[in-house]
Structure 1
Amino acid sequence: MRAGRLRGTLGSADRPASALGFRRVLAVFGALVLLVGAIAAFALTDQVWLGVLLGAAFVAACVNVYWVSRRLQHERPNR
């Protein structure tokens, strides 16, 4: 076989599964925590800058969830 060619199915001993599935779980969890934090900052404090900061971080976390999901679809096109 040529170097760099995939030898087995994903998850087999020849080609172990990547950590993208776990990374997606962490990304979704982080986005949910930032969403709850942004809502709490707007509702419970008078610090507008904190809510804006956490809201921007939530948007960035959503972009990360999208990016990880696209990478996972690219890696596992049959699912």
Structure 2
Amino acid sequence: MRAGRLKGALGSADRPASALGFRRVLAVFGALVLLIGAIAAFTMTDQTWLVVVLGAGFLAACVNVYWVNSRLHNERRTR
């Protein structure tokens, strides 16, 4: 066995469950908040810079959601 490699089922005492599931919930929530903020800024203000900043934040949050989903998929696939 290689050093640093955990053995056992995910969630057992030998291999504790990761926090990626909760991180996915937070990532999706953050993306939704940024999307709602960008839509509100577009409809309620004439501040173009605010719409651009919130839109860029939404795109970055979507990348984060994709990254967390792929990590979670890879973690569950290696069980």
Q: Which runs of 5+ in 2 are unaligned?
A: none
Aligned-partner residue type, residue 40 of structure 1: A
Unpaired segments ≥5 residues, structure 1: none
In the alignment of these two chains, the number of paired residues is 78
Alignment of structure 1 residues 1-79 onto 2, 5 Å: 1-77=1-77
What's the secondary structure of 2:22's corresponding residue? helix
**C-alpha RMSD over aligned residues:** 1.3
Name the SS of the counterpart of 2:77 in structure 1.
coil
1 CA distance for matches of 2:2 and 2:55? 48
Q: Which runs of structure 1 show a deviation greater than 4 angstroms over 4 or more consecutive aligned residues?
A: none
Bigger relative contact order, structure 1 or 2 (CA pairs below 8 A, ≥6 apart): 2
Over the matched positions of the two proteins, sequence identity in percent amounts to 79
